Structure 1
């Protein structure tokens, strides 16, 4: 049986960034973001990110998003852990559902995916998922 795949776009509705260490050319920061998702995943999330940005333009982040809404035909919430890097060589991200974080009809959710940004600035989440129960 094929693993279900969800694709959604999202918009950052709030974006609050606070640098906390800017020594030696790399700025470390914390970002709080509220997001709205549309597509196979519909809902809202609250995210916390830790970031590093270099003078050369490279960057990295680690993040946790608590997403509440509907995934396919099930409703509830879950936590998504994700991280990524950006450099002159390109961008790479990875995401995974935090085990046992599903609530409501999303209890037992497992999954992995990625986040990308299209050339026009559209943010996308792709998630392959299944349920333990």
Structure 2
């Protein structure tokens, strides 16, 4: 089955990076890295909200970078309500998107969404509209 939705980000909160981890000083590269938390609202065939842990590295001069995210979603999908996780990641050289990964975390579904599995993609239109597309199935 396939579900398409759009989403908006209602909060994006960067965390402060530590200067050390244990006795090890942070390693500085050309791509600044950091962890942020964000909340999203979904409308469409998937409707609900999510909280996302977003880890990224971005070269501010070139726009090149990568991110990885773990998202906890509470939503209604195909008339079923519950929660599940997705993990997604991608890279950019500044003008593109590549090495994309997007999967529903196995065994993460609850409520009527228990047993959900699948994959998906994030798309951004030229006007800035963000899409969240799922290919999913339920265990019988």
Q: TM (normalized to structure 2)?
A: 0.87
Higher strand share: 1
TM-score by length of 1: 0.91
C-alpha contact (below 8 Å) 2:74/2:84 kept by paired residues: yes
**Of the candidates 82, 90, 95, which is equivalent to residue 76 of structure 1?**
82
Q: Find the aligned partners of 2:91 and 2:16 in 1 and give their Cα distance.
A: 18
Q: How does 1:29-108 map to 2 (within 5 A)?
A: 29-54=34-59, 55-88=61-94, 90-92=96-98, 93-108=100-115
State the 1:30 CA deviation: 0.6
Structure 2: segments with no counterpart, 5+ residues: 18-25
Which of structure 1's runs of 4+ aligned residues deviate more than 3 A?
Answer: none
Instruction: Provide the aligned length of Structure 1 versus Structure 2.
Output: 130
Assess if the C-alpha contact under 8 Å between 1:81 and 1:95 holds in 2: yes
Structure 1 spans left out of the alignment, 5+ residues? none
Task: Please name the residue that 2:8 is paired with.
Answer: 11
Q: CA RMSD in A?
A: 1.5
